[in-house]
Amino acid sequence: MDFSYTDVQQMLQDSVQKFVQKSYDFDTRNTILNSEKGYSAENWQLFADLGWLAVPFSEEDGGLGGSAVDLMVIMEEFGKANLIEPYTAGAVLSGSLVAELATGDIKTMLVEGIIGGELLLASAFAEPGSRFNPGSVATSAAVDGDDVILNGIKVAVENGPNANKLLVSARESGDVRDPLGISVFVVDASTPGISMRSYQTVDGKMASEVTLADVKVPASNRLGEAGAALPAIEVATNRAIVAVSAEAVGALEVLLQKTVEYSKTRKQFGTPIGTFQALQHRMADMFIQCQLARSIVIMAAMTLDGDDSAEEKAKAVAAAKSRIGKAIKDVGQEAIQIHGGIAMTEELDVGHLFKRVTALDLAFGDGDYHTQRFAQL
């Protein structure tokens, strides 16, 4: 048994750490947040140059191996920096979906585009009535000669405003929750019939509500077999869940660390508030939550990288997201409470980390959703 990183993973961690420490402080993040695009295109190109955008892909697809543990290593560091660039949406989720489903030239084109940094993708799965279930798809795909016509509404499409192409889940047959009949199409963001309402999210990312009205795409833009995309969507989503969970682990760790530091310097009643036992115990509990969160994310990442059945993998991921949800609430809320009013302000990074982990709790289903999913699997 050995939980240490390989030399390559260690190097990856060092390189991401170096980047965020040197080039991603709180002020820089605010500048990026308030920029026109809401992310830094230079950073994205840098991620490509450093090979980070190749990490989600296997070597045979032209990537650097594609292990979930590798993704965990990167995402934890991104979480510490409260990074805005859409790594999960653009590289992990969309990249894994392409790797799972696409074949031939279209696959080569998409994978090379993602790895090179010139292709920004967004995955459009969620719908007004689907809540967190990616298998609930009402958006329709009707074959029309050599084309397919898409109609429907997608919500919470992260990276939608900046994406060149969208990966849209749509139904070719069956009723709204039939596991069969769902396909994924690559759609140029500029295709007529696509309209977007774009917004910044509470944690500073860019997202859109996307309406598809008679959007015509060539049938050859379908990734994989008609109507058979749901298992691949689930595989890609599971990897994205490990990514956001690891991101949360990094963010929670920083929240804990900043809270402890603050309690040592903030004086009330003539003494640092960290000397009060009532607060010491609560910070000890925050530490326990962080440790359990880390443990369960490692478990999920290792399970995804292992030989277990698809069901066992799904169960491990549900367990992780469920447990992370609890840690997010406990650690996030305590970090604010122990800081007091100062953490309620936009001027301190603690509040921004709190907003980020709150959004991560919702991403791909909140803790409650995954507890129930775990119980059902």
Partner 1 sequence: MNADFTAEELAFQEEVREFLRSEFPADLKAKVDASVRLDKEDMVRWQKILFEKGWAAPTWPVEHGGTSWSHTQRHIFATEMGLYGAPEPIPFGMKMVAPVIMAYGTEEQKQRFLPDILESNAWWCQGYSEPNAGSDLASLKTAAVRDGDEYVVNGSKTWNTLGQYADWIFCLVRTDNTVKKQEGISFLLIDMKTPGITLKPIVLLDGFPEVNEVFFDDVRVPAENLIGEENKGWTYAKVLLTHERTNIAGVPRGKRRLKSLKNIAAETDDGFGGKMIDNASFKQRLAEAEIELKALEYSELRTLAALSVGNAPGPESSILKIVGTELAQRMDEMFVELAGYNCLPFVPEQFEPGFTGEPIGPGNSASAALTYFNNRKLSIFGGSNEIQRNIISKAVLGL
Q: What end-to-end distance do the CA atoms of the chain give, in Å?
A: 27
What single letter denotes the amino acid at residue 350?
V
User: Residue 107 or 355: which CB sits closer to partner 1?
Assistant: 355
User: Residue 205 or 222: which CB sits closer to partner 1?
Assistant: 205
User: Residue 71 or 360: which CB sits closer to partner 1?
Assistant: 360
Structure tokens at 258: 């900043």
Q: Name the nearest CA neighbour of 335 among 253, 249, 267.
A: 253
Instruction: Return the residue of 35, 108, 164, 372 that touches partner 1, per CB under 8 A.
Output: 372
Binding mask 182-221 for partner 1 (x = CB under 8 A): ---------------x-xxxx-x--x-x------------
User: Residue 83 or 217: which CB sits closer to partner 1?
Assistant: 83
Q: Name the nearest CA neighbour of 33 among 83, 87, 88, 91.
A: 83
Instruction: Return the residue of 156, 163, 243, 252 that touches partner 1, per CB under 8 A.
Output: 156
Ordered DSSP codes for 41-109: HHHHHHHHHTTGGGTTS-TTTTSS---HHHHHHHHHHHHHHT--S-HIIIIIIHHHHHHHH--HHHHHH
Binding mask 250-289 for partner 1 (x = CB under 8 A): -----------------xxxx-------xx----------
Phi then psi dihedrals of residue 67, to 5 deg = -80, 150
Instruction: Return the residue of 62, 193, 231, 351 that touches partner 1, per CB under 8 A.
Output: 351
The CA-based angle 81-39-261, given to 5 degrees, is: 20
163 sits near partner 1 (criterion: CB under 8 A): no
Phi then psi dihedrals of residue 177, to 5 deg = -115, 15
355 sits near partner 1 (criterion: CB under 8 A): yes
Q: Name the nearest CA neighbour of 171 among 236, 96, 241, 227.
A: 227
244 sits near partner 1 (criterion: CB under 8 A): no
User: Residue 64 or 206: which CB sits closer to partner 1?
Assistant: 206
Segment lying near partner 1 (by CB under 8 A), choices 69-77, 116-124, 246-254, 353-361: 353-361
36 sits near partner 1 (criterion: CB under 8 A): no
Binding mask 116-155 for partner 1 (x = CB under 8 A): ----------x-xxxxxx--x------------------x
Cα–Cα distance, 331 to 377 (Å, whole number)? 28
Binding mask 37-66 for partner 1 (x = CB under 8 A): ------------------------------
What single letter denotes the amino acid at residue 60?
E
Spatial contact of 297 and 72, defined as CB atoms under 8 Å apart: yes
Spatial contact of 350 and 335, defined as CB atoms under 8 Å apart: yes
Least separation in angstroms between residue 195's CB and partner 1 is 13
Spatial contact of 331 and 286, defined as CB atoms under 8 Å apart: yes
Least separation in angstroms between residue 263's CB and partner 1 is 12
Residues that bind partner 1 (CB under 8 A): 126, 128-133, 136, 155-156, 176-177, 197, 199-202, 204, 207, 209, 267-270, 278-279, 329, 333, 336-337, 340-341, 344-347, 351, 354-355, 358-359, 362, 366, 368, 371-372
